[in-house]
Chain A
Amino acid sequence: MMKVNRTMLSLKQLICALILLSSAQVSARGPSIVHTKSGRVIDITALKAQQPDQPLLVMLWATHCKPCMIEGRFMAMISKHFKARLHFAAIQVDEGVSINPASARKIYEKLKSKLTSYGVPKGSILPDAYLADYSNEVWAELQRGSRFNSKDTSIPLFALFNRDRKLIKIWTQAIYEDRHMIVDFISEIERVLHKENG
């Protein structure tokens, strides 16, 4: 009888340990996002792990944000030019939108037509567009482990990571508004690429 009790106790401890372990693993993972084109669900940690041989540029935006849509053409040009050297991911953070593969694909179609109305040529639509529901969580996760701790989640927001996924620079305003901002943005990307490629 005593033996059975001891076995039960150890079993309970094992289950508790497993639960704790799994919860710890979940908290380490970032909020889930959906690839709008393919409908694939991943999280921020997995997104950051993609194409580790290239620096990463992340853009947070929303379809209801006019300055974000205006940035579309500029970002299409940036992603096209640095295609083979820079991994670009645009995360759409339209809050309140349920994220699932079906809704993501519908939103992608809407996004395509909306971008066209903002002068973004057809065929140059951002290839890596994701959908997330809460910008704060996404932004907090993007900043994790970096010296940045900005609570400013105003969009459009741009974050540039190096190959080690160290956050190099953030821009928390529209780039295409100002000539000097455009120059700074392009120069910073080129500087990181130059440094990474020796």
Chain B
Amino acid sequence: MPNYSSGRKSKSTLKLILLVSLIAVGVAVYYDKVPDIGLPSSLPMLEPVSDKVSDAKPEQSKAVRSVIHEPEFVTSTKLKQTPASTPENSGVKAIRPPQISSQRGLIGRETRESQLYQSDLNLNEEVFASVESSTGLMYQSTKPNTFKKIGFDEALSGLDRCAWVSVASLKSQRTAQFFKLLNSLYSGGSSCQVLQLISDAPTTQRKGPYKEALDQLFSNLSKFGVRSRRVLDSYFMTPDLPEQVLVNLSTVLNEPKLNSVGLGDKPLLIFVQGGQVKNFWSSEVQDNLSEFANLLNHFHE
């Protein structure tokens, strides 16, 4: 005969649990008591991010995206702020994101941070304009489409160990061939710092024309089989003519010979070691194997 006593016991326990649960739910509904998760009652209603982005103009949303992915842009330019262009006196109020801990709040923070970056982006134009240097100015880019105004002296500071500094005109037909040479030389890496100075850049405060100019350069480079942007990973654009760039370099590197090279728009490659110019070659180095071998030897130093 089967033993049903344990089955009956477990059924009665189940009924008891159900009853207790029903009572608990009933009590909760009666008092309308929702567990407190720490959400402030005074939190303003924030619009969903998706709505914000779709309402914005295409360029605006692109700018917002770019600053989110490239926070260094803001950080680096903030370091360059001068007293004349602080947020207080430039008329742009810095927005601080509220301290919100809920998931909903995080979305809101992202939106507000985007607004903050947007404000900083506008501010940067003014900060750039206030940068001054006795040795000329350049626009530095370490990432495509990201520019920062910087003085020659600052750009070339810290070349204590060794560096390759190239000067090429954006408008010269020799430039693409020259960058092909640089691409070949830098292949396999270089233990020295690499700086590409591109002269004849557009004279503008906006980055759009710079991007167009670079796209044109990359289009020319593709003819010479330079497909990657590796050769231009770290470059500086300047509206100065190549002669002026050499004058500036001559001053910063304390090398009078650079001032009197007289190359016209021929590209130039300079080898700097211990803060001193050790040697320099024009693009004509590709026509003389002895000079070319001399240049190659510097890559083994």
In the complex formed, the residue of A with least CB distance to B174 is A119
* Cβ–Cβ contact B184 & A178, under 8 A: yes
A145 close to chain B: CB less than 8 A: no
B188 close to chain A: CB less than 8 A: yes
Interface string of B212-236 (1 = CB under 8 A from A): 0000000000011100000000000
In the complex formed, the residue of B with least CB distance to A78 is B289
Interface string of B288-299 (1 = CB under 8 A from A): 111011001001
* Cβ–Cβ contact B225 & A70, under 8 A: yes
Q: A118 contacts which chain B residues (CB < 8 A)?
A: 177, 224
Per the 8 Å Cβ criterion, residues 261-285 of B in contact with A are none
* Cβ–Cβ contact A178 & B188, under 8 A: yes
A183 close to chain B: CB less than 8 A: yes
B180 close to chain A: CB less than 8 A: yes
Least CB distance from A117 to B in Å reads: 9
B185 close to chain A: CB less than 8 A: yes
B301 close to chain A: CB less than 8 A: no
Contact of A186 among B180, B184, B293 (CB under 8 A): B293
* Cβ–Cβ contact A183 & B296, under 8 A: yes
* Cβ–Cβ contact B225 & A67, under 8 A: yes
**Are A180 and B188 CB-contacts (below 8 A) given A70-B225, A77-B288, A119-B174?**
yes
* Cβ–Cβ contact B287 & A124, under 8 A: yes
* Cβ–Cβ contact A186 & B225, under 8 A: no
* Cβ–Cβ contact B225 & A73, under 8 A: no
Interface size on B, residues (CB 8 A): 21
Q: B293 contacts which chain A residues (CB < 8 A)?
A: 186
In the complex formed, the residue of A with least CB distance to B297 is A183
B141 close to chain A: CB less than 8 A: no
* Cβ–Cβ contact B287 & A179, under 8 A: no
B244 close to chain A: CB less than 8 A: no
For chain A, which range describes its interface: under 10, 10 to 19, 20 to 34, or 35 or more residues?
20 to 34
A171 close to chain B: CB less than 8 A: no
B187 close to chain A: CB less than 8 A: yes
A74 close to chain B: CB less than 8 A: yes
A66 close to chain B: CB less than 8 A: yes
* Cβ–Cβ contact A81 & B289, under 8 A: yes
Alpha-carbon distance A196/B187, docked complex (angstroms): 32
* Cβ–Cβ contact B185 & A179, under 8 A: yes
A176 close to chain B: CB less than 8 A: yes
Least CB distance from A196 to B in Å reads: 18
In the complex formed, the residue of A with least CB distance to B285 is A77
Alpha-carbon distance A124/B290, docked complex (angstroms): 16
Alpha-carbon distance A121/B292, docked complex (angstroms): 16
**Are A70 and B180 CB-contacts (below 8 A) given A119-B174, A183-B296, A186-B293?**
yes
Alpha-carbon distance A176/B286, docked complex (angstroms): 11
* Cβ–Cβ contact B290 & A81, under 8 A: yes
Interface string of A56-91 (1 = CB under 8 A from B): 000000000011001001101110110000000000
Alpha-carbon distance A178/B187, docked complex (angstroms): 6
Q: Could you name 6 residue pairs across A and B whose Cβ atoms are closer than 8 Å?
A: A66-B225, A73-B287, A77-B287, A78-B289, A118-B224, A119-B224
Chain A residues within CB distance 8 Å of chain B = 66-67, 70, 73-74, 76-78, 80-81, 118-119, 121, 124, 174, 176-180, 182-183, 186
Chain B residues within CB distance 8 Å of chain A = 174, 176-177, 180, 184-188, 223-225, 286-290, 292-293, 296, 299
Closest 4 CB pairs of A and B: A119-B177, A81-B289, A178-B187, A179-B185
